[in-house]
Amino acid sequence: MMNCCPATPLLIDCRREEDFIKGHHRQACHIDANDLFKRMHELPQKASPVALIGCVESLKTATAFLKDKAYQISNTTIYDRDHRQQLITQGLWQTGPSSIRLWQASPMIEHFCELLSKHPAANIKSIGLDIACGSGRDMVYLALQGWQMHGIDYQSEALQRTTRLAQNNQVAVQAYQHDLESDTNALQNLTQQGLPAAFDLITVCRYLHRPLLTTLQARLKPGGYLIYQTFMQGCEKISSPKNPNYLLAKNELANTFSQLNIIKNDIHHLQDGRPVSAFIAQRPH
């Protein structure tokens, strides 16, 4: 899967899918202008400028939407016969689906994948679980790296976005709709729907339900990894969440998972200053 260079505007082809497949700029990601609201999780960070390419109507719709969402639009280009010929001459014209993605996984997931790539013996890439997977970027990214990913979220809309994201990136993931907080035996009950009983990787991002923590540890296979990144105490002084039930104390994860081998136990800060955990641990073999 290819990423655009962050030093240049990221190119979005905003025409209909059938028109895109017939032919497009080979460096363009495809998002139909009429689907931008549903696919906002596939857009780059707002700090990254974007360039739009399409027909007159699609450019009008996409420009209005992205400007309203405070994206930086560097330029727009209309596909016409001359532009198509120019792309063909430059070797920039291709047919078929897009191989470009503009979205990113969370930094901790990318960091974890980099760590594994440097240690081939530890690069197991087997069965993974994403708790509160949301729109699925972390899960799909891991699937792109070779993991067999399963994800759980209580929102059906989020899981629909996850499924669409996986399809657009040509990977398979398994998504389960379930409320983990109302069902104390959630993971066990979900095995009846096909959820594996144990995992080589469990990841949690921006979600905290303390009664679930010991269950997660028990579901790790020997040698399996746990990645946990969520809000910490101090966030309430800046923004949400303010409820202490959703805020980790310093070293809380290290104390809770003291039986695991702790690889990383740091605190990172979001752009607005909110502290979040950066925790990776491994169950002993």
The structural domains of the chain, with segments of one domain joined by +, span 2-101, 107-282
- CA-nearest of 112, 117, 138 to 225 is 112
**Predicted confidence band of residue 219 (pLDDT cuts 50, 70, 90):** very high
User: Per-residue pLDDT for 216 more than 80?
Assistant: yes
Give the span between the Cα atoms of 48 and 37, in whole angstroms: 18
- CA-nearest of 17, 9, 26, 137 to 71 is 9
Task: Beginning with the edge strand found earlier in the chain, give each strand of the sheet holding 10-13 in spatial order.
Answer: 29-30, 10-13, 50-54, 73-78
Would you state the pLDDT for residue 99?
Answer: 74
- CA-nearest of 256, 254, 261, 246 to 278 is 254
Would you state the pLDDT for residue 242?
Answer: 93
* Three-class DSSP labels, 90-145: CCCEECCCCCEECCCCCHHHHHHHHHHHCCHHHCCCCEEEEECCCCCHHHHHHHHC
Measured CA distances, 259 to 207, 214, 217, 262 (Å): 22, 11, 9, 9
Q: CATH classification of 107-282, choosing from 3.40.309.10, 3.40.50.1110, 3.40.50.150, 3.40.1280.10? A: 3.40.50.150
* pLDDT tens figures, 112-153: 999 888 876 665 669 999 999 999 999 999 999 999 999 999
User: Per-residue pLDDT for 283 more than 60?
Assistant: yes
Give the span between the Cα atoms of 151 and 132, in whole angstroms: 7
Region 26-44 average pLDDT: 90
Would you state the pLDDT for residue 4?
Answer: 43
User: Per-residue pLDDT for 56 more than 60?
Assistant: yes
At 55, the amino acid letter reads: C
- Is-contact 1 99, C-beta < 8 A? yes
Give the span between the Cα atoms of 212 and 190, in whole angstroms: 14
Q: Quote the mean pLDDT of the chain.
A: 91
Task: Give pTM, 2 decimals.
Answer: 0.83
Q: Is 2-101 assigned to CATH 3.40.250.10?
A: yes
Give the span between the Cα atoms of 77 and 154, in whole angstroms: 40
- Is-contact 202 227, C-beta < 8 A? yes
2-101 matches 107-282 in fold: no
Give the span between the Cα atoms of 159 and 167, in whole angstroms: 12
DSSP string, the chain: -EE--TTSPEEEE-S-HHHHHH-EETTPEE--GGGTTTTGGGS--TTS-EEEEE-HHHHHHHHHHHHHTT--EEEEEE--HHHHHHHHHTT-EE-SS--EE-----HHHHHHHHHHHT-GGG----EEEEET-TT-HHHHHHHHTT-EEEEEES-HHHHHHHHHHHHHTT---EEEE--TTT-TTHHHHHGGGT--S-EEEEEEES---GGGHHHHHHHEEEEEEEEEE-BBTTGGGTSS---GGG-BPTTHHHHHTTTSEEEEEEEEE-TTS-EEEEEEEE---
Q: Which residue has the tokens 């910490």?
A: 232
